[in-house]
Amino acid sequence: MLSHLPDTDFSKTKLFVLIYSPSLRSRPNSHISAVSLGSSYSAISTPAHTPGDELKTLEPQPEDTIYTPALSTRSTDTTLWNTLHGQALRLVESPAMVMPFTTPTGHIHMLKHLGPDYVYIVDALSGTNGANVEDIKRWVGQTIIVVGSDGTGLGGLVDTDDEGPASKSKSEHAGHTSKWWETTDMVGLGKGVEIVDASRLEDDFERRVGGRD
């Protein structure tokens, strides 16, 4: 997803990148870590509580360092982290705005605290039947679920201009197993949750965030 995003105009956009990294090693002295990472949120006024355990076990790193995965998966995950971390750093104003989380729901607490206008989230992190999306809906402006990142282009099956699951039945075809976002009432124009195909992510991002027609 990161590779599809254009360079960020820092005068117009405050971009945070949250990366799911389940094998990152927790760090001791969590009190210091929590204070350091909390400073990333200091300029954002929201009614949310301080983020939970996800923010207590990790600390921001200088731009020239990386987090270290657990020994059992170090080779593969270090390569993946280096790639994602490098892509994220080119998009954000400060290295502290690249935030890892280690559990499948860790991003929920972080997003509730940040309260962003737009959230782009890969379908794999949307939770069972969109539970994670449901949890953040009232804390954020618009949630955009990015689908088809595996190259299948499944996002084309959903028209977010439609108003409900009944109208989405036209997308069903023989041999196709419905995705949760094809049948839920949560998705649709004006409902706070929309779908975008990964292949169209750059255009969608520039239209919503960059204000391009």
Question: pLDDT tens string for the chain (213 positions)?
Answer: 888 888 999 999 999 999 998 877 643 333 323 333 344 444 344 444 444 444 444 444 444 444 444 444 455 667 777 889 899 999 999 999 999 998 999 999 999 999 999 999 999 999 999 999 999 999 999 999 999 865 444 444 344 444 444 444 444 445 567 889 999 999 988 899 999 999 999 999 999 987 775
Residue 111 covered by a domain: no
Domain count, the chain: 2
Residue at 163 is within a domain: yes
Same domain, 138 and 194: yes
The sign of the CA dihedral 55, 62, 94, 2 is: negative
Name the residue range of residue 184's domain. Answer: 116-213
Beta strands in the chain (DSSP E): 17-20, 98-101, 118-122, 142-147, 193-197
Token couple for 200: 């169209």
Strands 142-147 and 118-122: parallel
φ/ψ region of 211 (left if φ > 0, alpha if ψ in -120 to 50, else beta) reads left
70 and 127 fall within a common domain = no
In a domain, residue 98? The reply is: no
First to last CA, the chain: 22
User: Does residue 105 belong to any structural domain of this protein?
Assistant: no
What per-residue confidence (pLDDT) applies to 72? 43
Amino acid at position 126, single letter: S
d(CA 68, CA 71): 9
pLDDT value, residue 24? 72
Q: How far apart are CA 38 and CA 41, in angstroms?
A: 6
Task: Determine, yes or no, domain membership for 106.
Answer: no
CB 139 within 8 A of CB 110: no
Give yes or no: residues 62 and 135 share one domain: no
Phi/psi of residue 106, each to 5°? -60, -30
The answer to whether residues 86 and 122 belong to one domain is no
Answer for the pair 120, 38: CB distance below 8 angstroms, yes or no. Answer: no
In a domain, 55, yes or no: yes
Residue 58's nearest CA partner among 96, 111, 108 is 96
C-alpha closest to that of 6 among 146, 209, 155, 213:
209
Backbone angles phi, psi at 18, to 5 degrees: -105, 125
